[in-house]
Structures are given as structure tokens and as C-alpha cells.
Structure 1
């Protein structure tokens, strides 16, 4: 997963004044190319029209930042929007970004808004059904042995933490 940065003039007000220094107003975290075309691209367009500096996680884009730089960039945003979908747990990078998002929320008070698109909050919170199966498959593809257990433990915690936050279930607005 790579990042595309869109930068229009940013709002002059900063509603989080403690560290870190904010470079972007919003980071959008999501997994799956289809969700990017169907929902995230529209969300980004609306944010840009409102002159919100947006950093977006995009799969299969040209070479960009290294993972460490991407994770550091997440810490430089005021708000993170996590778009959970059926394909969210398919990539390790998306889940590593989620870990960083939760860390920034707990450490710096970064605002996190979960959006549940074609999936329920309880599926994410409890890693149920196809979502849980996909998470397990991603862990098996990416890690082995104790590393796999450790990664799953961290991902489970991050997913549960994010899923219990006040968010938006898109299924209720169709």
C-alpha cells in the first residue's frame, strides 16, 4: 500500500496543540482497490473541495514512501478516518497502519473516525465471519510461529479498539 498526498490550503486552526506537528488534516486508511474506487475516492474529493489537507493510503500506486515514512506520516495528521470493509484485513500494510493509528490516538489524542462500509462493527470488533478468516489468512501469509501470534494479538487489539469507537455505519444510510 502506498500513499498519495493531496495538498490544498490547510485550515489555519489547529484543534490539537500538543505534539506531533501536523502536516495533514486527515489520513484515510482503507484496504482494497474496489473500496478505493467506490467510496474513498468520493470521500477524498469532498475533503479536498473543503480544502482539507488529505493523506490517503492507496494500494498499487507508483513507488512512494517506505513503510517507516508512511507510519511516521500517520503521526503527522490531526484526524484519521478508517474505512473498514470486507477486504480491509487483506493486507499487512493496512493492519500495520491501523496499529500506528491506535498508538497515535492513545498517545497524542489523534481523532479517529471509523467508517463501516459493507461490514458491521461487530464483525470488526470480534474478527468474525469472513473478516476474521481473512485476518488469519493475512497473518499466515506474512508471519510464522511466534511472530504470527504476536502480530495477530496486536491486530486483534487494534481492530477491537477502533471498532468500539464512535463511528459511522454506512449500511444504515442507504
Structure 2
């Protein structure tokens, strides 16, 4: 039986800036979890043509667009982002914007150091006022409308930020049966906000079940002195754990 192809993750970032070390470590973590990872700046450095890079994007399942202060220093990086959003609009790729040590507002409004870098690139390339400038700006604005992650939410601690990225990508592609060892170490609040409703449902079901079990126990054992407070708490926690795990199984 043929082995199932590993999903591709394409990382789009400026390269040679503050995000470079983070990207290298993130790529390693993703590869360790069974993903094929392509980094746009590496493909550019290997003098791959833009058509080759576009084909790589087209074969990818997930694209991580990592914004940083120096993101717009690369004209190719901006071209890649346009193609990435085209694929997202076609429903053929999952797009995740990541704001690494830069605010979403600065990126969306092209202000601060991010905006200064963008203006410098336009001037350096002699394309200030060119249609490319408008296309790039509009494309970045569209990417900013997608649910994403900001390093500030993780106190700029790269390890926590990285773990959240890997966890999210794995959950998004969980039907591919990737290892789930990392899942138990990551709190639910690290997931994108769309998972909040499902988590609330888990907790509600678990709470109702725990109360029901306590009611049944009180009917069977009219003298609750047979259980110590510590034992009752242990049973309640055990019920909550089992119900929550069962819900995650059946509702995902």
C-alpha cells in the first residue's frame, strides 16, 4: 500500500531579519511532526524562479505568512503573499497570518517600522505609484482579515509561540492522523478563537454529567459519610476528564 503523502506547509517571511531564527526553529518543529516544510526565503536564496516557488505554494496545504518589521523588504516575499491569498480565495489552501514582534494594526495600516520598510522597498525598486504597490497593500489587508496569531499574546516567548503554531497546524490537518503527543501539553487558550464555542460545549456537557452522577450517588448512598470529601472530589474530577475526552473524540 502506498504511503500517504505528507502535507506541505509553506512559510512566507522576509528573511534575514528578526523573524529568521524563529522561522528556522518553527520549520524544524513542523518537520519533526511529519510535515514537508518549504521556506520562501530559502527557495529565493537557491535562485529558484518565481514560477517554481508558485508551484510550491500551489502544492501546499497550509501557508504561514509571518509578518515582521522587515517583511516588506523583499519584493518576492510580497509576490508570494499575493499567490498565497489567491489560493486561499480558491479554497485550496489554509492561510494563517502570524504577527512576529509587530502589531496587526501596524501591518494592516502600513505604519511604524513595517510601513517604513514597505515605502523603502517601493522607492528602491523604483515602483512607487506602480500598480504593484496597490496590489500588495490590498493583499496584505486581506490577509489581515484572516484569523491568526500575534507573538505579543505569548509575551514574545518564542517557544510558547512556536508550540501554538505547530499545535494549530496539526489540529487543522488532524484527519491525516499525525502524532498527537504534543496535544496534552498545550492549553486550550492557545487555539484560535473559533474553537471557543466547541470548548464551551465540552465543559457544559461535562458539568451536567458530573452533577447527574453526584445526584445518582446521593440516591444510592443516602449516608454520604461513606465517602470522604477528598474521594468525592477525585470522582468529580475523573468524571470531568472522561466526559471532556469523550466529547473531543465524538464532536471533532
- Normalised by the size of structure 2, how large is the TM-score? 0.56
Aligned partner of 2:101 among 108, 118, 128? 118
Report the number of matched residues: 153
Show the counterpart of 2:112: 129
Show the counterpart of 2:135: 154
Query: Does residue 58 of the first structure (1) align with residue 50 of the second (2)?
Result: no
Structure 1: segments with no counterpart, 5+ residues: 1-10, 14-22
- Higher relative contact order, structure no. (Cα contacts within 8 Å, ≥ 6 residues apart): 1
CA RMSD of aligned residues (A): 2.2
Distance change in 2, residues 1:103/1:77 (3 Å): same
Partner SS for 1:54:
strand
Q: CA deviation at 1:60?
A: 9.0
Show the counterpart of 1:19: none
**By percentage of residues, which structure has more strand?**
1
Taking the aligned partners of 1:173 and 1:62, their CA distance within structure 2 comes to 31
Q: How does 1:1-20 map to 2 (within 5 A)?
A: 12=4
Query: Does residue 91 of the first structure (1) align with residue 83 of the second (2)?
Result: no
Aligned partner of 2:122 among 139, 144, 150? 139
Structure 2: segments with no counterpart, 5+ residues: 156-252
Q: How does 1:63-74 map to 2 (within 5 A)?
A: 63-74=46-57
Taking the aligned partners of 2:74 and 2:64, their CA distance within structure 1 comes to 17
Q: CA deviation at 1:78?
A: 0.6
Taking the aligned partners of 2:42 and 2:62, their CA distance within structure 1 comes to 20
- For the pair shown, the structure with the greater C-alpha radius of gyration is 2
Deviations 1:139-161 (A, max 9, x none): 2222446xx43011101111101
Q: CA deviation at 1:83?
A: 0.7
Q: CA deviation at 1:36?
A: 4.8
- Normalised by the size of structure 1, how large is the TM-score? 0.79
Query: Does residue 45 of the first structure (1) align with residue 37 of the second (2)?
Result: no
**By percentage of residues, which structure has more helix?**
2
Taking the aligned partners of 2:7 and 2:125, their CA distance within structure 1 comes to 30
